Structure 1
Amino acid sequence: MRSRYCAFVFDNAAYLADTVPAENAGNYDAKSITRQKTQWTGLEIVSTEAGGLFDQTGYVEFIARFHEKGRDGAHHEKSRFIRQNGKWLYVDGEFPG
Protein backbone atom coordinates (compact mmCIF):
# COMPACT_ATOMS: atom_id res chain seq x y z
CA MET A 1 0.00 0.00 0.00
CA ARG A 2 2.72 2.45 0.93
CA SER A 3 4.60 1.83 -2.30
CA ARG A 4 1.45 2.47 -4.37
CA TYR A 5 0.81 5.69 -2.44
CA CYS A 6 4.37 6.81 -3.23
CA ALA A 7 3.74 5.99 -6.89
CA PHE A 8 0.73 8.33 -6.84
CA VAL A 9 2.81 11.05 -5.15
CA PHE A 10 5.59 10.79 -7.74
CA ASP A 11 3.31 10.16 -10.77
CA ASN A 12 4.84 6.73 -11.40
CA ALA A 13 2.16 5.32 -13.72
CA ALA A 14 4.33 2.36 -14.73
CA TYR A 15 4.56 1.16 -11.13
CA LEU A 16 0.83 1.60 -10.58
CA ALA A 17 0.05 -0.45 -13.70
CA ASP A 18 2.59 -3.09 -12.64
CA THR A 19 0.91 -3.60 -9.25
CA VAL A 20 -2.50 -4.77 -10.45
CA PRO A 21 -3.32 -8.29 -11.70
CA ALA A 22 -3.14 -8.76 -15.47
CA GLU A 23 -6.87 -9.51 -15.63
CA ASN A 24 -7.60 -6.08 -14.07
CA ALA A 25 -5.12 -4.10 -16.15
CA GLY A 26 -7.72 -3.27 -18.83
CA ASN A 27 -9.94 -1.61 -16.23
CA TYR A 28 -7.14 0.45 -14.76
CA ASP A 29 -5.76 3.52 -16.49
CA ALA A 30 -2.80 4.54 -14.34
CA LYS A 31 -1.72 7.25 -16.77
CA SER A 32 -5.00 9.14 -16.41
CA ILE A 33 -4.68 8.96 -12.64
CA THR A 34 -1.22 10.49 -12.68
CA ARG A 35 -2.33 13.30 -15.02
CA GLN A 36 -4.62 14.65 -12.33
CA LYS A 37 -3.51 17.82 -10.56
CA THR A 38 -3.64 16.20 -7.14
CA GLN A 39 -1.06 16.97 -4.48
CA TRP A 40 -0.95 14.01 -2.10
CA THR A 41 -0.20 15.22 1.42
CA GLY A 42 -0.27 12.17 3.69
CA LEU A 43 -1.09 8.53 4.21
CA GLU A 44 -2.57 7.01 7.36
CA ILE A 45 -2.85 3.23 7.64
CA VAL A 46 -6.00 2.63 9.70
CA SER A 47 -5.84 -1.17 9.87
CA THR A 48 -4.55 -4.30 8.17
CA GLU A 49 -5.98 -7.81 7.90
CA ALA A 50 -4.05 -10.89 6.83
CA GLY A 51 -1.28 -10.15 4.34
CA GLY A 52 1.30 -12.04 6.35
CA LEU A 53 4.16 -14.21 5.20
CA PHE A 54 1.97 -17.24 4.43
CA ASP A 55 -1.18 -15.40 3.29
CA GLN A 56 -2.33 -15.05 -0.31
CA THR A 57 -4.75 -12.19 0.38
CA GLY A 58 -4.59 -9.10 2.54
CA TYR A 59 -6.56 -5.95 3.29
CA VAL A 60 -5.39 -2.44 4.11
CA GLU A 61 -7.72 0.27 5.30
CA PHE A 62 -6.19 3.69 4.77
CA ILE A 63 -6.85 7.39 4.52
CA ALA A 64 -4.89 9.27 1.84
CA ARG A 65 -5.01 13.03 2.24
CA PHE A 66 -4.71 15.38 -0.71
CA HIS A 67 -5.00 18.94 -1.97
CA GLU A 68 -6.77 19.52 -5.28
CA LYS A 69 -8.37 22.56 -6.94
CA GLY A 70 -7.72 24.73 -3.89
CA ARG A 71 -9.34 22.31 -1.43
CA ASP A 72 -8.16 19.67 1.00
CA GLY A 73 -9.71 16.22 0.90
CA ALA A 74 -9.29 12.61 1.93
CA HIS A 75 -9.72 9.26 0.21
CA HIS A 76 -10.76 6.56 2.72
CA GLU A 77 -10.65 3.02 1.35
CA LYS A 78 -10.30 -0.61 2.41
CA SER A 79 -8.16 -2.18 -0.33
CA ARG A 80 -7.92 -5.86 -1.19
CA PHE A 81 -4.59 -7.28 -2.29
CA ILE A 82 -3.58 -10.71 -3.57
CA ARG A 83 -0.16 -12.29 -3.78
CA GLN A 84 0.80 -13.64 -7.22
CA ASN A 85 4.25 -15.09 -7.82
CA GLY A 86 5.43 -13.59 -4.53
CA LYS A 87 4.27 -10.07 -5.42
CA TRP A 88 1.40 -8.15 -3.79
CA LEU A 89 -1.13 -6.75 -6.27
CA TYR A 90 -4.02 -4.34 -5.74
CA VAL A 91 -7.36 -5.93 -6.72
CA ASP A 92 -10.07 -3.51 -5.64
CA GLY A 93 -11.34 -1.46 -2.74
CA GLU A 94 -14.46 -0.39 -0.94
CA PHE A 95 -15.38 2.68 1.00
CA PRO A 96 -15.85 1.84 4.70
CA GLY A 97 -19.22 2.68 6.18
Structure 2
Amino acid sequence: MRARYSAYALGLVDFIVATYHPSCQAENDRQEIEQGTQTQWTKLVVLEAENGHHADEGFVSFKAYFEQNGEHYSLQERSRFIRENGRWYYIDGEFAENE
Protein backbone atom coordinates (compact mmCIF):
# COMPACT_ATOMS: atom_id res chain seq x y z
CA MET A 1 0.00 0.00 0.00
CA ARG A 2 2.73 2.44 0.92
CA ALA A 3 4.63 1.65 -2.29
CA ARG A 4 1.53 2.34 -4.39
CA TYR A 5 0.89 5.62 -2.56
CA SER A 6 4.51 6.66 -3.07
CA ALA A 7 4.27 5.78 -6.76
CA TYR A 8 1.20 8.00 -7.11
CA ALA A 9 3.00 10.83 -5.31
CA LEU A 10 6.10 10.43 -7.51
CA GLY A 11 4.26 9.92 -10.79
CA LEU A 12 5.50 6.35 -11.36
CA VAL A 13 2.72 5.21 -13.67
CA ASP A 14 4.51 2.03 -14.86
CA PHE A 15 4.94 0.88 -11.24
CA ILE A 16 1.29 1.53 -10.44
CA VAL A 17 0.10 -0.39 -13.50
CA ALA A 18 2.40 -3.29 -12.58
CA THR A 19 0.98 -3.51 -9.04
CA TYR A 20 -2.57 -4.11 -10.27
CA HIS A 21 -3.63 -7.74 -10.49
CA PRO A 22 -3.46 -8.90 -14.14
CA SER A 23 -7.23 -9.51 -14.15
CA CYS A 24 -7.75 -5.76 -13.68
CA GLN A 25 -6.16 -5.03 -17.06
CA ALA A 26 -4.79 -1.76 -15.67
CA GLU A 27 -2.96 -1.01 -18.90
CA ASN A 28 -6.39 -0.13 -20.33
CA ASP A 29 -6.76 2.50 -17.58
CA ARG A 30 -3.27 3.99 -17.94
CA GLN A 31 -4.59 7.47 -18.79
CA GLU A 32 -6.81 7.61 -15.68
CA ILE A 33 -3.96 6.27 -13.54
CA GLU A 34 -1.65 8.93 -14.92
CA GLN A 35 -4.22 11.62 -14.07
CA GLY A 36 -4.19 10.34 -10.48
CA THR A 37 -0.45 10.89 -10.31
CA GLN A 38 -0.92 14.57 -11.16
CA THR A 39 -2.67 15.15 -7.84
CA GLN A 40 -0.54 16.69 -5.09
CA TRP A 41 -0.59 13.83 -2.56
CA THR A 42 0.48 15.05 0.88
CA LYS A 43 0.04 12.25 3.42
CA LEU A 44 -0.89 8.59 3.85
CA VAL A 45 -2.29 7.07 7.04
CA VAL A 46 -2.70 3.29 7.13
CA LEU A 47 -5.67 2.68 9.41
CA GLU A 48 -5.79 -1.10 9.48
CA ALA A 49 -4.39 -4.21 7.82
CA GLU A 50 -6.52 -7.37 7.91
CA ASN A 51 -6.13 -10.95 6.82
CA GLY A 52 -8.47 -12.09 4.08
CA HIS A 53 -10.45 -15.27 3.62
CA HIS A 54 -7.27 -17.19 2.83
CA ALA A 55 -3.51 -16.73 3.27
CA ASP A 56 -3.11 -15.04 -0.12
CA GLU A 57 -5.70 -12.32 0.41
CA GLY A 58 -5.38 -9.21 2.55
CA PHE A 59 -7.08 -5.88 3.13
CA VAL A 60 -5.59 -2.48 3.92
CA SER A 61 -7.71 0.45 5.07
CA PHE A 62 -6.10 3.84 4.57
CA LYS A 63 -6.72 7.54 4.35
CA ALA A 64 -4.83 9.54 1.72
CA TYR A 65 -4.61 13.31 1.87
CA PHE A 66 -4.14 15.61 -1.10
CA GLU A 67 -4.26 19.24 -2.12
CA GLN A 68 -6.09 20.59 -5.13
CA ASN A 69 -6.50 24.24 -6.10
CA GLY A 70 -5.33 25.32 -2.65
CA GLU A 71 -7.93 23.17 -0.88
CA HIS A 72 -7.17 20.12 1.29
CA TYR A 73 -9.04 16.85 0.82
CA SER A 74 -8.83 13.22 1.79
CA LEU A 75 -10.12 9.91 0.58
CA GLN A 76 -10.54 6.72 2.54
CA GLU A 77 -10.49 3.25 1.02
CA ARG A 78 -10.41 -0.39 2.05
CA SER A 79 -8.21 -2.06 -0.57
CA ARG A 80 -8.08 -5.76 -1.34
CA PHE A 81 -4.79 -7.38 -2.32
CA ILE A 82 -4.12 -10.86 -3.69
CA ARG A 83 -0.75 -12.63 -3.49
CA GLU A 84 0.37 -14.67 -6.48
CA ASN A 85 3.82 -16.22 -6.86
CA GLY A 86 4.97 -14.38 -3.73
CA ARG A 87 3.94 -10.94 -5.01
CA TRP A 88 1.03 -8.82 -3.76
CA TYR A 89 -1.31 -7.21 -6.29
CA TYR A 90 -4.05 -4.65 -5.84
CA ILE A 91 -7.34 -6.15 -6.97
CA ASP A 92 -10.05 -3.68 -5.90
CA GLY A 93 -11.22 -1.38 -3.16
CA GLU A 94 -14.21 0.23 -1.53
CA PHE A 95 -14.32 3.92 -0.73
CA ALA A 96 -15.62 4.94 2.68
CA GLU A 97 -18.70 7.11 2.85
CA ASN A 98 -18.00 10.79 3.47
CA GLU A 99 -18.33 11.62 7.12
Please give the TM-score of this superposition, normalised by the length of structure 1: 0.86
* Residue ranges of structure 1 left out of the alignment (5+ in a row): none
- CA-atom RMSD in angstroms: 2.0
CA distance in 1, matches of 2:31, 2:76: 21
Partner of 2:49: 48
Alignment of 1:2-13 (within 5 A): 2-13=2-13
- CA displacement at 1:26 relative to structure 2: 4.6
CA distance in 1, matches of 2:62, 2:8: 14
Q: Residues 20, 96 of structure 1: CA spacing in aligned structure 2 closer, same or farther, 3 A cutoff?
A: same
Say whether the 8 Å CA contact 2:17–2:26 is kept in structure 1.
no
Partner of 1:25: 25
CA distance in 1, matches of 2:92, 2:27: 11
Say whether the 8 Å CA contact 1:13–1:31 is kept in structure 2.
no
- CA displacement at 1:27 relative to structure 2: 7.4
Runs ≥4 residues deviating over 6 A: none
- CA displacement at 1:33 relative to structure 2: 2.6
Identity of aligned residues (%): 37
Partner of 1:63: 63
Partner of 2:14: 14
CA distance in 1, matches of 2:34, 2:26: 16
More helix by share: 2
Say whether the 8 Å CA contact 2:78–2:95 is kept in structure 1.
yes
- May I ask how many residue pairs the two structures share in their alignment? 95
Please give the TM-score of this superposition, normalised by the length of structure 2: 0.84
